[in-house]
Structure 1
């Protein structure tokens, strides 16, 4: 469920992109949460609760990783959290918040703001057509994401989980690791006797 929820939320910037115009629009956020719940097949309240848990855990993991890098302690035996790589789309917003560059609030705190102001009826029609176009694009993107989700298997997810650790290594170490992985795969596939 977690993976499906993360992929669904990633399609709705109004739920996490603090720079988005729709981030503080309660109507858009509410609609987005309804769609996420529909995609995941879980009640909206549970999606919101689980997302907050995942987002907060990702934020804590990023902080721990930063502390490890600064201190140099535990870099080699560090094992990244299983959702770190797929939640990386949150990193610009987490980093901006940690740096204090913006005066931003958590997703949950936004609920305190009032609804977006009512527009005159003539302007509303154009915004309604924009909303319909946006929803159509989101449905297309969701369909593509669901297709992508179906095509991802254990092997793909495992290899994607290695990417953050590989990026922290020097180019020389990355090359060495790639060679070792290819060597192990060759030995597993063709047997150690055939490998020179």
Structure 2
């Protein structure tokens, strides 16, 4: 840390914005793999097909954009009616979120958004059958943010209970397990709702 707190805040904010940019890039790569035939596929989110997940991702990006602009976060509601092209809507709203977070100059919304965006990027990839892993450094950075900022009291309605994993599992598996998802390639114990 420097002796100038404003310089540290700026460095922290820049790091948070860079994390959001990396998470958004990961999610956009997953969205690029979606075809029209994939929209009815199940996702790692119980009860949601890919179309519903994409609508939720777009809604969440909209809520997070509002938070970046105003400082107030209204949690996204249940998936709304499907758009003609839910992939395009989700992609466009992710790009608007990235721009709004960059303009806001506040890292807190960017940190929260990075976890949400990357988690749903992972969900999209799994729904499409993609085996492309999350970059290990991105997964480790997001895991650190998620475990330090998601108290159990906020979990209901947002994330299922964490899934137990062996300590040696990769950071990607620990991240998605912490968020209540079952990593496909890792042996797990416990249940996720």
Q: Normalising by the residue count of structure 1, what TM-score does the alignment of the two structures yield?
A: 0.27
Q: Normalising by the residue count of structure 2, what TM-score does the alignment of the two structures yield?
A: 0.28
Q: Which has the higher helix share?
A: 1
- Which of 1 and 2 has greater Rg? 1
